[in-house]
């Protein structure tokens, strides 16, 4: 087996069996969606020299467990890599809030760990205390309520993603996915992913699409009304696909000639729409009954409304950089299905796709019982800062450049301010990020900035 680790929100690498590093990663993963610690290779894939032995790993894990409050139990597997022995330590998502022995509460932030602030700790503790609704059984449901065709499709997708045969029978696959309990009873996650008519037992599970003719929720006669309304039900994979098909039918398609070729350009970037749609379905609060995911399409914008506030410690300010799932089983299921390409990077790419197509970046609005993503199609829309008086002349030039070009990178800022040192320009951009005007996208040489 060739282990090629790639650090991300669910994976980390350690070249040494360091108890302190292990403990911090265990707490970060347990507080989030779980994850894997690859011990025996660094983040570049280079094997440890000298190699790590089983006794060394077991001793370090035992010491690390004692540094966690409360203690975190782990499991590990040993693999023979092309370059030697590699250990993979598995950490599952915990229903409890964990801290290190020094009092720090850490969480995964992309490929790194980050300590939480006091307010963030309270938000995460409140989220943990609600329990995992998706793991509860659905009253009155039986495994015969699952759709065999949908399960078969899921297994095929799982095999393609793993690039190897799926071991175990159907019940074992469903148990691994969190779709059934050990007693064979369907869970909420299982019914949402595989249920034939899950909207009967879980009425809040569907989606409502409404198309309005103007910029307000009114009909063509000026009264309350709409041009089209669709109710979409079924397993979540079918809901996402059906909703996308309806949205695509309603989107304006324009013709653009590039060179000698005529290309069709949809009203909104497909990736941005699908990402907002998948996120709304994945991360909504399914405990809230009587409300479904809503897609409202207006002449100038599209609103995707997900019932329930942002999960855990996630806020509008950190939504680009942080990742936390309210429904990890649903997220994992749709990830295996292929609806989620890379965990933790969707919001970043959604913003990027909108900006690259000449649209304003998405707007995010969080309320206690709903989260709304708004995509605008008005290319001429300008976002003017409310605190222009607090900007220096260089920063105002940077904002003007972004309004004309959609984004700005460090090298472009240096081109419009050639007589200013790179460090001063970097501080200018950091200042505008901290004040909430700009949003930083990407990392290292690929970093650029857009209006927030």
End-to-end Cα distance, the chain:
44
Residue 235 shares a structural domain with residue 327: yes
Instruction: Give this prediction's pTM.
Output: 0.75
Residue 248 shares a structural domain with residue 363: yes
Beta strands 253-258 and 228-232: pairing type? unpaired
Contact call for residues 444 and 354 (beta carbons, < 8 A): no
Domain encompassing residue 394: 388-451
Is there a domain that residue 5 lies in? no
Residue 235 shares a structural domain with residue 315: yes
Residue 217 shares a structural domain with residue 198: no
Mark which of 202, 226, 254 sits at the end of a domain.
Answer: 202
Residue 300 shares a structural domain with residue 440: no
CATH of the domain at 98: 3.30.950.30
Spatial distance between the Cα atoms of 324 and 112, rounded to a whole number of angstroms? 14
- Tens-place pLDDT, residues 414-442: 988 887 888 888 888 988 888 888 888 87
Residue 225 shares a structural domain with residue 355: yes
Residue 175 shares a structural domain with residue 276: no
Mark which of 334, 350, 376 sits at the end of a domain.
Answer: 376
- Number of domains within the chain: 4
Is there a domain that residue 6 lies in? no
Contact call for residues 19 and 68 (beta carbons, < 8 A): no
Is there a domain that residue 265 lies in? yes
Mark which of 350, 376, 402 sits at the end of a domain.
Answer: 376
Residue 190 shares a structural domain with residue 98: no
Instruction: Give the range with max mean pLDDT: 249-258, 364-373, 437-446.
Output: 364-373
Spatial distance between the Cα atoms of 308 and 133, rounded to a whole number of angstroms? 13
Region 192-219 average pLDDT: 89
Residue 97 shares a structural domain with residue 215: no
Is there a domain that residue 126 lies in? no
11 Cβ contact list (under 8 Å, min separation 6): 5, 35, 36, 37, 38, 111
Contact call for residues 227 and 219 (beta carbons, < 8 A): yes
Helix (H, G, I), strand (E, B) or coil at 238: helix
Residue 242 shares a structural domain with residue 101: no
201 Cβ contact list (under 8 Å, min separation 6): 138, 139, 140, 141, 145, 191, 195
* Percentage of the chain lying above the pLDDT 70 cut: 90
Instruction: Give the range with max mean pLDDT: 57-71, 159-173, 329-343, 355-369.
Output: 57-71
Region 19-31 average pLDDT: 96
Q: Does position 380 have pLDDT exceeding 60, yes or no?
A: no
Residue 349 shares a structural domain with residue 400: no
> Which one is predicted more confidently, 168 or 143?
143
Lowest mean pLDDT, pick from 12-26, 148-162, 376-390: 376-390
Instruction: Give the range with max mean pLDDT: 109-113, 355-359, 367-371, 442-446.
Output: 367-371
pLDDT band at 73 (very low <50, low <70, confident <90, very high): confident
Is there a domain that residue 301 lies in? yes
CA angle at 399 for the pair 395 and 401, rounded to the nearest 5°: 115
Q: Does position 386 have pLDDT exceeding 60, yes or no?
A: no
CATH of the domain at 427: 1.10.10.10
Sign of CA pseudo-dihedral 33, 38, 39, 42? negative
Residue 346 shares a structural domain with residue 279: yes
- Tens-place pLDDT, residues 157-168: 888 877 777 777
């Amino acid at each position: 087996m060739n282990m090629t680790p790639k650090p991300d929100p669910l994976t980390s690498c350690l070249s040494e069996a360091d108890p302190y590093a292990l403990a911090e990663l265990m707490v970060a993963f347990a507080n989030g969606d779980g994850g894997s610690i690859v011990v025996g290779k660094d983040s570049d894939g280079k094997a440890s020299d000298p190699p790590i032995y089983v006794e060394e790993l077991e001793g370090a894990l035992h010491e690390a467990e004692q540094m966690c409050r409360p203690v975190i139990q782990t499991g590990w597997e040993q693999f023979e890599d092309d370059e030697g022995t590699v250990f993979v330590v598995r950490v599952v998502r915990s229903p409890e809030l964990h801290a290190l022995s020094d009092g720090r509460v850490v969480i995964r932030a992309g490929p790194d760990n980050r300590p939480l602030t006091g307010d963030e700790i309270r938000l995460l503790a409140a989220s943990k205390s609600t329990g995992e609704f998706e793991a509860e059984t659905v009253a009155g449901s039986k495994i015969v309520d699952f759709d065999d065709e949908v399960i078969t499709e899921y297994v095929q997708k799982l095999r393609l993603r793993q690039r190897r045969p799926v071991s175990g029978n159907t019940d074992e696959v469903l148990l691994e996915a969190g779709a059934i309990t050990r007693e064979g009873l369907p869970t909420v996650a299982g019914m949402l992913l595989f249920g034939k008519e899950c909207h009967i037992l879980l009425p809040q599970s569907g989606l409502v699409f409404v198309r309005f003719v103007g910029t307000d929720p009114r009909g063509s006669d000026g009264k309350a009304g709409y041009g089209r309304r669709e109710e979409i039900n079924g397993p979540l994979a079918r809901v996402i696909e059906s909703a996308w098909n309806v949205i695509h039918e309603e989107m304006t398609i324009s013709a653009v000639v590039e060179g000698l070729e005529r290309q069709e350009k949809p009203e909104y970037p497909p990736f941005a729409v699908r990402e907002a749609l998948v996120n709304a379905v994945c991360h909504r609060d399914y405990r809230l009954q009587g409300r479904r995911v809503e897609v409202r399409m207006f002449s100038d914008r599209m609103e995707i409304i997900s019932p329930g506030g942002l999960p855990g410690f996630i806020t509008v300010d950190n939504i680009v950089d942080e990742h936390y799932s309210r429904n990890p089983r649903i997220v994992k299921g749709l990830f295996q299905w292929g609806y989620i390409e890379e965990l933790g990077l969707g919001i970043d790419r959604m913003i990027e796709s909108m900006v690259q197509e000449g649209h304003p970046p998405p707007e995010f609005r969080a309320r206690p019982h709903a989260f709304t993503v708004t995509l605008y199609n008005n290319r001429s829309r300008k976002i003017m800062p409310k605190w222009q008086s607090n900007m220096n002349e260089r920063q105002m030039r940077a904002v003007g450049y972004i309004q004309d070009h959609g984004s700005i990178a460090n090298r472009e800022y240096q081109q419009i301010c050639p007589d200013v040192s790179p460090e001063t320009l970097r501080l200018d951009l950091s200042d505008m990020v901290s004040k909430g005007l700009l949003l930083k996208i990407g990392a290292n040489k690929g970093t650029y900035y857009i209006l927030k």
